Chains A and B, each alone.
Chain A
Amino acid sequence: MAAQPLTEKDAIITVENLEFLYGDFKAVDGISFTVKKGEIFSFLGPNGAGKSTAINVLITLLALQKGKASVAGYDVTKDPQKVRESIGIVFQEITLDRDMTVWESLEFHGKLYSMPHADRRKRIEELLTLVQLENKRDVRTKHLSGGMKRRLEIARGLMTRPKVLFLDEPTIGLDPQTRMRMWDYIKDVNKEGTTIFLTTHYMDEADQLSDQISIIDNGKIIISGTSWELKNTLGQDIIYLETSDNDAAIQLIRNLSSVKDITSKTRGFLISVNEDGTKVLPMIMECLHNAEISIDTVNLKKPSMDDVFVYYTGKEIRDEPIGKSAFISLRPGGH
């Protein structure tokens, strides 16, 4: 029975009512979700939301307490050995021996998974090229930069051609450039057929990378869907305007029924609307035109993942105010 997939063909991870307690503290509170074969699935949530705990149960480092979970068709409780053979993992913290070389780290990993000698050596060469560490082969990992360490860990996670690659906060602490390159690697890996399960607290990471996103907070999944679906559920758009007379314009627009809120900015103002912005914007423009107020700049955008997150959890994930980043992204030409 163990060899038979427990789930439907296209689901590679299924989780039902998963609960995990540390003493009295409920870290994971009855979550259920499915990850389809071949997709990139993200758990998006603040630190301490229960993402890592959930991932640790799925990769069999923590024993399942309540609920059901299967990975690659194998039950994590009944068949942990098979689960371990089917997955690759990149841990949240750097998990490298500082005093082993890049090549030794990969060799060690391949042996841990009983890869045949020839396969192992060949795969190491391929992966070193993929993550651009060919010329670091004999360098001890303590001499690598943060980004290189991460790349090495991703390469290590891919040594065994896993069915599912788990990435726990893969770009934490990396500079923006390195992060973008990392995303490219992850996408490449995904294109080759590996399902990716990712946790992150970076909005843009979830947004850019994932086919499916589940927002998780306080151990619960709050909402799931594609990035587009999530943003669309807000049913709101944000319009940025700069006009010849901002104060008068604000007075006029405030009375329109579909306008929810107006925020003044240095050179213009932000309007958030309750209805489809593509329909509201012409109304606003006509209204201003009739009042003989000329429009210098206009920008319409869908709410970002940040907006979605704030909407559903009632709190901001980052320290910096959302308004600031929204404003920056709304600057003319800034999107």
Chain B
Amino acid sequence: MNYGFVNIYWRDMIRFVRFRTMLFSSLLQPALWLAFFGIAMSSSFDSLMIGVPIPPGAHAVGYLTFMAAGIIAMTTLFTCLFGGMIILFDKNWGLMREILASPMPRDHVIIGIGLSGMTKSFIQAIIIMVFGILIGAGFFVGFSAVQIAIAVLGILVFVAVFALGFLFLSAGIAISMETPEGMQGIMTLLTMPIFFASNALYPLNAFPEFLKVISTYNPMTLLINGIRYFAIGDDFVAMGTHYVYTTNDILLSFGGLVVFALIMYVFACWRFNKAVVT
């Protein structure tokens, strides 16, 4: 058994910890989103929602609670889409030659980068949850300690699979690219539709039909379903929309993410086996 991926993971985490500015900005950025966008939007949206009837059994949640789940997903998306950038740098100026000429199987690079990006996403997700609760997001309201532990675990499992999927995608693109500028361009291009065609900031039900279909199967939406289910509950009202999640819905969302991550893994392996770095 080759543990090469542990080595790749170790090295990527060294860099993560060593670059203090990168570390702090990546941790601060989601908190800022939550603080500025979250607080600003929630005060205007919540005032609009006053008087909207709430169905029996459901509980109403404020906009901050609603969008905090979206911010966890957004941060994970951004971090992971750029998580493969190190591969491009290594390819152009660093270690990729050494790595590819070594006996370590190439898929270990993909797995190692996936795991380190996942770790970073965990740290970010936890920070957002803690900070979100501090500024008033209604996560885990009325949960017992055990329930909170299960809920956090559930969120992290969802974040993990989603993160791996996008890290594999990012790694596959990075090994195929020549310049960081090109990579930046592609990533920006991908971020927009994935982020906005999702239920991160608003409900999907008012979308035009085709956009609704896309958004429903968007991995971003699948992740956010999971986070809301675990953090808020299976029956709540937000932004005038009644959300009911059955266990089946959540399993389907999770299954969708697993399929997405597997496809991305195959894509990354394919790109790596094609890669020629001299």
Contact = CB atoms under 8 A, between A and B. Distances in A.
A61 B98 contact: no
A52 B278 contact: yes
Interface in B134-161: none
B101 A61 contact: yes
A62 B277 CA distance: 8
A99 B18 CA distance: 8
A60 B101 CA distance: 7
A56 to B, nearest CB: 5
B18 A84 contact: no
A261 B100 CA distance: 53
A99 B94 CA distance: 10
Residue with the highest number of chain B CB atoms closer than 10 Å, among A84, A108, A109: A108
Nearest to A140: B18
B94 to A, nearest CB: 5
A62 B4 contact: no
B4 A114 contact: yes
Chain A interface residue number, banded: 20 to 34
A85 B11 contact: no
A295 interface: no
B104 interface: yes
Interface string A92-115: 000111111000100011011110
Contacts of B99: 112
Interface in B58-114: 90, 94-95, 97-104
B103 A59 contact: no
Residue with the highest number of chain A CB atoms closer than 10 Å, among B4, B6, B278: B278
A65 interface: no
A81 B103 contact: yes
Contacts of A62: 276, 278
A267 B242 CA distance: 102
Nearest to A85: B103
A98 B7 CA distance: 17
A89 interface: yes
A202 interface: no
Contacts of B192: none
B3 A114 contact: yes
A331 B7 CA distance: 56
Contact of A108 (B2, B11, B101, B277): B11
Contacts of A97: 11, 15, 90, 94-95
B14 A112 contact: no
Nearest to B108: A112
Contacts of A99: 15, 18-19
Given A52-B278, A81-B103, A108-B7, A95 B95 contact: yes
Nearest to A57: B278
A89 B101 contact: yes
Interface string B235-278: 00000000000000000000000000000000000000000111
A84 B4 contact: no
Given A99-B19, A108-B11, A114-B2, A61 B95 contact: no
A95 B97 CA distance: 7
Given A81-B103, A112-B99, A112-B103, 14 more contacts: A62-B276, A62-B278, A89-B98, A99-B15, A99-B18, A104-B11, A104-B14, A108-B7, A108-B10, A108-B11, A111-B3, A111-B6, A111-B10, A113-B102
16 contacts: A56-B278, A61-B100, A61-B101, A61-B278, A62-B278, A85-B103, A91-B97, A104-B11, A108-B11, A111-B4, A111-B6, A111-B7, A112-B99, A112-B104, A114-B103, A156-B98
Interface of A: 52, 56, 59-63, 81, 84-85, 87, 89, 91, 95-100, 104, 108-109, 111-114, 156
